[in-house]
């Protein structure tokens, strides 16, 4: 009856080297509405292992709702969600609880426990689910804090941190148990481009390093271009387009183009890339001339 115990089942899929070779999330025909309003309409896709899987779309297009459906915070009205061959939709409460110990999630608003210090926040999952002694747990906490480039804030409360620091603590808490699945809801909304970049890189690195299945909601173009390996574009609750960051540049989908290359600047950048790809701009000769012009001023 191994199939009724997700953890055992997942464990059994470890190969001899201890690598976990599983981690696909597949969802089929997800439909979700709140009252009259249809938020998700027949969305299907496969989230791949070891990759950053991006859900992109305008504000209000249903990204958060889709992600919450995937982890079971919302129950979809129709459709099926499959974690590595096991139907999440059919799991009972206990099976879900066990699977969730393999899930880390970063919420749009960080969702740190504000009565606890940073250290206690990150240690919380360890306290709950491991039997390690305090020293080992502390070591692990410091390890993940170092991983997100945040050291020396152990004793601070979430209210004393900046938005970006909170996000990073959120990531640290999400990855402290080495989850197999990482969900990030707009990891860089409200952050400056540089910090966003740092966080994107971090998520991407962790994903690669631990071969996780990472699902990221974003409407930040830099992130899309930085880590878009498997992108699903939602438009008003429907799957409008799917592909990777290279496909985006050559995509003829009007809505996607308008969404991604919203500004004239980005539109120009896209055109440049197109020309470059077609061999119409040879190399960086033009750039040199531009720079020369700059120096003359």
Partner 1 sequence: MFTRPENMRMYWKELMHQCVEIGIGSLGIVIIISFFMGAVSAVQTSYQLVSPLIPLTTIAQIVRDTVILEFAPTVVCIVLAGVVGSKIASELGNMRVSEQIDALEIMGINTKSYLIMPKIAACLITIPMLVVLSMVLGIVGGRLAGAATKILSTDTYDMGLILNFVPYNVFFALVKAYTFSFIISSIPSYYGYYVKGGALEIGRSSTKSVVVSCVMILFADYVLAALLLNK
Binding site for Mg ion (CB under 5 A): 64
- Name residues contacting ligand ATP, limited to 72-131 (CB under 6 A): 108
Q: How far is the CB of 59 from Mg ion (least distance, A)?
A: 7
SS3 category, 259: helix
Among 40, 52, 66, 103, binds partner 1 (CB under 8 A): 103
Phi, psi of 178 (to 5 degrees): 55, 60
Q: How far is the CB of 105 from partner 1 (least distance, A)?
A: 5
Residue 62 binds which entry of ligand ATP, Mg ion, partner 1, none, CB below 5-8 Å type-dependent: ligand ATP
Residue 34 binds which entry of ligand ATP, partner 1, Mg ion, none, CB below 5-8 Å type-dependent: ligand ATP
Q: Which stretch binds ligand ATP (CB under 6 A): 4-12, 60-68, 160-168, 253-261?
A: 60-68
Using CB under 6 A as the binding criterion, the count of chain residues that bind ligand ATP stands at: 12
First to last CA, the chain: 76
Residue 277 binds which entry of ligand ATP, partner 1, Mg ion, none, CB below 5-8 Å type-dependent: none
Q: How far is the CB of 185 from ligand ATP (least distance, A)?
A: 7
Tell whether residue 60 is a contact of ligand ATP (CB under 6 A): yes
Q: Which stretch binds partner 1 (CB under 8 A): 13-21, 65-73, 84-92, 193-201?
A: 65-73
Among 127, 143, 271, 289, binds partner 1 (CB under 8 A): 127
User: DSSP letter string over the chain?
Assistant: -GGG-HHHHHHHTB-TTS-B----EEEEEEEEEETTEEEEEEEEEEEPTTSEEEEE-STTSSHHHHHHHHHTSS--SEEEEEETTEESTT--HHHHHHHHTTEEEE-TT----TTS-HHHHHHHHHHHH----HHHHHHHHHHHHHHTT--S-TT--GGGS-HHHHHHHHHHHHHTT--SEEEEE-TTTTS-HHHHHHHHHHHHHHHHHHT-EEEEEE--HHHHHHH-SEEEEEETTEEEEEE-HHHHHH---HHHHHHHT-SHHHHHHHHHHHHHHTTSS-SSHHHHHHHHHHHH-
Tell whether residue 57 is a contact of ligand ATP (CB under 6 A): yes
**Judged by CB, which is closer to partner 1: 13, or 246?**
13
What does each C-alpha distance from 286 to 109, 112, 154, 168, 293 come to in angstroms?
A: 44, 49, 50, 40, 11
Tell whether residue 165 is a contact of partner 1 (CB under 8 A): no
Tell whether residue 36 is a contact of ligand ATP (CB under 6 A): no
| Sign, CA torsion 4/6/7/12 | positive
- Name residues contacting partner 1, limited to 173-212 (CB under 8 A): 177-178
Q: Which stretch binds partner 1 (CB under 8 A): 94-102, 206-214, 221-229, 246-254?
A: 94-102
**Judged by CB, which is closer to ligand ATP: 16, or 59?**
59
Among 49, 53, 61, 121, binds ligand ATP (CB under 6 A): 61
Q: Which stretch binds ligand ATP (CB under 6 A): 8-16, 22-30, 57-65, 168-176?
A: 57-65
When computed from its CA atoms, the radius of gyration of the chain, rounded to whole angstroms, is: 21
Q: Under the rule (CB under 6 A), what is the footprint of ligand ATP?
A: 34, 39, 57, 59-65, 108, 219
């Amino acid at each position: 009856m191994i199939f009724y115990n997700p953890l055992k089942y997942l464990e059994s899929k470890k190969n001899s080297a201890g690598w976990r070779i599983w981690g696909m999330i597949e969802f089929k025909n997800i439909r979700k509405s709140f009252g009259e309003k249809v938020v998700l309409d027949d969305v299907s896709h496969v989230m791949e292992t070891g990759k950053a899987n991006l859900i992109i779309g305008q504000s209000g297009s249903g990204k958060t709702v889709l992600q919450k459906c995937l982890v079971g915070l919302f129950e979809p009205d129709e459709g099926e969600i499959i974690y590595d061959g096991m139907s999440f939709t059919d799991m009972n409460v206990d099976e879900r609880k066990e699977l969730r110990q393999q899930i880390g999630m970063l919420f749009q608003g960080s969702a740190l426990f504000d009565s606890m210090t940073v250290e206690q926040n990150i240690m919380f999952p360890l306290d709950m689910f491991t039997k390690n002694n305090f020293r080992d747990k502390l070591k692990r906490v410091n390890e993940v804090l170092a991983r997100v480039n945040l050291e020396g804030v152990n004793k601070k409360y979430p209210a004393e941190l900046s938005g970006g620091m909170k996000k990073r603590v959120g990531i640290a808490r999400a990855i402290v148990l080495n989850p197999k699945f990482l969900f990030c809801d707009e990891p860089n909304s409200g952050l400056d481009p540089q910090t966003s970049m740092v966080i994107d890189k971090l998520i991407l690195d962790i994903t690669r390093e631990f071969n996780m299945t990472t699902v990221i909601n974003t409407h930040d173009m830099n992130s899309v271009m930085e880590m878009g390996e498997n992108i699903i574009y939602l438009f008003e609750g429907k799957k409008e387009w799917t592909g990777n960051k290279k496909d985006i540049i050559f995509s003829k989908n009007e809505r996607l183009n308008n969404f991604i290359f919203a500004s004239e600047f980005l539109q120009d950048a896209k055109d440049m890339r197109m020309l470059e790809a077609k061999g119409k701009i040879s190399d960086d000769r033009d750039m040199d001339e531009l720079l020369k012009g700059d120096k003359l001023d």
